[in-house]
């Protein structure tokens, strides 16, 4: 029996660029363009896997890279790590993570802790056990074997990033000459956060996004600037994140289901559709 180590052959950048274009065209996994797809493929290849595995291991959430909890746990176990689950249900995820080089740590995540952290992602109501598990895996692996995280957070953490509104900046009064063009029509003036809160805009828009159909989602994405023209600038990213979550609910309703690569992507990597 041969003891030779099987390695994944390095792919030429030109080959990966072609795969990245097909990857981006598939619109899977949150990838919006070929540059994002190529970056994830290079990460996968650097870790010794086929570039196409980027589709299985990573997500792009509003432009931020994320590594799936299953991929993080797989790399942790492959690196000699061990995990012992004490509790795993809809209320609590509790496990001990250990690694020869990083020691041992018992990590637990509960719904109460998530609520105290201000996490309001609707996926926590639909899939609490899976969300708790992902958080426990990310924290446990990061604690005892950070190399297995690839320097990323899991998608659930990226989705729950809290957007802190920047403090107002004092600006000295400046005299501005009126515009010469008489036919200039200014756009709607953006509301202050206080005014938007009084008007109930934030809750109204989030509730609207939560009920979007696929057609409604496409309309919102195409007209995002118009629909949020009067909203505070600092509220736009949370709206974009909510749209991304709605997209995932509509096109990938089961959190743990892995979507198959479409025909274009499968053809690019030499795999039958």
Q: Does the pLDDT value for residue 262 go beyond 50? A: no
Q: Does the pLDDT value for residue 184 go beyond 70? A: no
Name the average pLDDT for the chain: 75
- Select the more confidently predicted residue: 95 or 251: 95
Closest alpha carbon to 33 in 63, 68, 67: 63
- Select the more confidently predicted residue: 104 or 29: 104
27-53: average pLDDT: 72
Q: Does the pLDDT value for residue 50 go beyond 50? A: yes
Q: Which tokens belong to 128?
A: 């609490």
* Residue 76 · residue 98 · CB < 8 Å: no
Query: For the range 42-46, what are the long-range contacts, defined as Cβ-Cβ under 8 Å and sequence gap of 24 or more?
Result: 42/16, 43/150, 45/8, 45/10, 45/11, 45/16
CA distances to 7, 109, 266 from 50, rounded to whole Å, are 10, 33, 13
Q: Does the pLDDT value for residue 69 go beyond 60? A: yes
Map out the domains of the chain as residue ranges: 13-61, 70-159, 193-249
Q: Does the pLDDT value for residue 171 go beyond 80? A: no
User: Exposure of 6 by Cβ count < 10 A (0-12 exposed, 13-18 middle, 19+ buried)?
Assistant: exposed
Q: How far is Cα 90 from Cα 154, in angstroms, rounded to an integer?
A: 19
109-116: average pLDDT: 88
Q: How far is Cα 132 from Cα 90, in angstroms, rounded to an integer?
A: 8
* Residue 262 · residue 273 · CB < 8 Å: yes
CA distances to 89, 123, 157, 210, 235 from 164, rounded to whole Å, are 31, 21, 16, 22, 9
- Select the more confidently predicted residue: 144 or 60: 144
Please tell me whether residue 153 adopts helix, strand or coil conformation. Answer: strand
Closest alpha carbon to 149 in 76, 79, 50: 76
Q: Does the pLDDT value for residue 179 go beyond 90? A: no
CA distances to 131, 175, 253 from 204, rounded to whole Å, are 26, 37, 23
Q: Does the pLDDT value for residue 117 go beyond 60? A: yes
Kindly give the pairing relationship between strand 58-61 and strand 82-88: unpaired
Query: pLDDT (tens digit, 9 = 90+) per residue, 221-257?
Result: 888 888 888 888 888 888 888 888 887 777 654 444 4
Q: Give the model's pLDDT for residue 1.
A: 40
Q: Give the model's pLDDT for residue 99.
A: 95
* Residue 97 · residue 105 · CB < 8 Å: yes
Question: pTM, whole model, 2 decimals?
Answer: 0.50
* 85 strand-pairing partners: 95
Q: Give the model's pLDDT for residue 140.
A: 93
- Select the more confidently predicted residue: 28 or 98: 98
Spell 182-209 as b/e; 16+ CB within 10 A means b: eeeeeeeebbebeebeeeebbeebbeeb
Count of helix runs (H) and strand runs (E) in the chain: 14, 5
- Select the more confidently predicted residue: 116 or 132: 132
């Amino acid at each position: 029996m041969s003891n030779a180590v099987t390695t994944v052959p390095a792919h030429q950048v030109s080959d990966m660029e072609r795969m990245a274009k097909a990857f981006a065209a598939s619109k899977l996994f949150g990838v919006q363009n070929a540059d994002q797809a190529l970056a994830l493929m290079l990460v996968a290849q650097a870790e010794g896997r086929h570039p196409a595995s980027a589709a299985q291991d990573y997500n792009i959430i509003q432009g931020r890279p994320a590594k799936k909890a299953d991929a993080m746990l797989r790399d942790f176990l492959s690196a000699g790590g061990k995990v012992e689950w004490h509790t795993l249900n809809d209320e609590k995820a509790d496990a001990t993570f250990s690694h020869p080089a990083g020691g041992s740590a018992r990590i637990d995540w509960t719904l109460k802790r998530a609520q105290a952290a201000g996490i309001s992602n609707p996926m926590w109501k639909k899939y609490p056990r899976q969300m708790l598990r992902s958080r426990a895996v990310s924290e446990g692996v990061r604690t005892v074997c950070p190399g297995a995280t690839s320097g990323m957070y899991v998608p659930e953490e990226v989705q729950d990033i809290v957007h802190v509104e920047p403090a107002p900046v004092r600006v000295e009064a400046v005299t501005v000459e009126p515009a010469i063009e008489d036919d200039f029509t200014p756009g709607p003036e953006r509301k202050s956060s206080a005014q938007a809160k009084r008007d109930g805009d934030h809750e109204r828009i989030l509730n609207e996004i939560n009920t979007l159909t696929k057609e409604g989602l496409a309309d919102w994405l195409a007209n995002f600037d118009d629909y949020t023209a009067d909203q505070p600038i600092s509220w736009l990213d949370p709206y974009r994140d909510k749209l991304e979550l709605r997209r995932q609910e509509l096109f990938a309703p089961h959190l743990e289901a892995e979507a198959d690569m479409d025909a274009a992507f499968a053809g690019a990597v030499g795999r039958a559709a």
